[in-house]
Amino acid sequence: MSDLTKQLIHEMYSRLLHLNEQRMDTELHLFLKQATVDQITFIPKNMTAIHVIDCIGDNEPINNTTIAKRMNLSKANITKISAKLLDEGLIKRFQLNDNKKEIYFRLTSKGKHVYDLHKKLHKRKEQQFYQFLDSFSETEQEVILKFLQKLTTRIAEEQIETT
């Protein structure tokens, strides 16, 4: 592979990262807009809190430690976010009968509305992504998958090294 090709790939990768940051802002705006249409009265103002709601909804009952592991966030960060979600009435805390030490979370009905909206929007985005992938041959899709797997592994390893 030529140096020019490598440079072009790096430039496209950097552009992708930048566009992804912008897209997250747009996604949050669209999410808030759809919540208004669906008459959902309260929505967290950051995507991490929305993803914590999603993690709880997918795995209830779930504790702080498991949320942190699944989301690759610190337990302190999850504690802070869950405290806000509790105050906002989006999740509730409880203990299992056989384990009075451990605190678990479930969604409230308010939290379930946020969860359902998030799932609906993700499903729409997933379908759009699949349609985009259909523009590539199966061989090209396999190369894309291999590249993304290796890139994800490398970034995850770099994250571990820097923490």
Over residues 13-29, mean pLDDT: 84
pLDDT exceeds cutoff 80 at 126: yes
pLDDT at 163: 64
Within 10 A of 127 (CB to CB), how many other CB atoms are there?
10
Express each pLDDT in 42-67 by its tens digit. 788 888 999 999 999 999 999 999 99
Q: Domains of the chain by range and CATH?
A: 3-162 (1.10.10.10)
CA distance 59 to 107: 10
47 close to 61: Cβ distance less than 8 angstroms: no
DSSP bridge partners of 107: 91
Burial of 10 (C-beta count, 10 Å sphere; 0-12/13-18/19+): exposed
Stated pTM of the model = 0.77
End-to-end CA distance of the chain: 33
Instruction: Please identify which residue in the block is written with the tokens 């995850």.
Output: 156
Express each pLDDT in 76-106 by its tens digit. 999 999 999 999 999 999 988 777 788 999 9
pLDDT at 43: 81
